[in-house]
Amino acid sequence: MNKKFFMVFVEGENTPTVQHDNLEKAEKEAQRLADKYGKKAFVLGSTSFITPEEINVKVDSFEDAFEYLGRENNCGMPDKHVKALNAMYKLVTIAEAWNKADNFMPVFSDRAQYKYFPWFVYNDNSAGFVYAYTSNAASGAYASFGSRLCFKTDERAEQFGKQFIDLWNDFLLFR
């Protein structure tokens, strides 16, 4: 919405009236409300529009996801698999932030709710896994990469698989 609009507030009230598309309508409504309530009414006009960043732009690292979720400290992990567990922890944290922004909470007992996750294949030329496609789990009971790493849409799962391929390789491979 980039069109200018106007809102009317009545002194001492908590909420504005409906949004008006021109100043004349807003002023007419303000006068009506001022007369009705015997209070001052104010007409406020929009001056600029701020659009939220897409979550995949706003949260494009573990540190960003950690901050987005309001986390305060990190925990220690066993030495033998530190790199893989750390990568998994980062993937889960980023996925949680993205799902929070998408207002998506996977409910695994709900077979009607589709849950999409990235799928990978090993590529000898890259010496690691590469993004292949997404899959969904609406009624199956399998968990190919873990239920914590699923998303609301096919597109979001694809973004996640491609954008964080290095973390996926740290998680899936001994390197």
Span 130-143, pLDDT tens digits: 777 676 754 444 44
Helix 165-172 to helix 154-163 angle (10° resolution) is 70
The reported pTM is 0.59
Nearest to 131 by CA among 111, 143, 142, 145: 145
Q: pLDDT of 88-107, one tens digit each?
A: 999 999 999 999 999 999 88
List all residues 6 or more positions away from 17 whose beta carbon is below 8 Å from its beta carbon.
7, 8, 9, 10, 29, 33
Beta pairing, strands 128-136 & 116-123: antiparallel
Strand partners, 135: 117
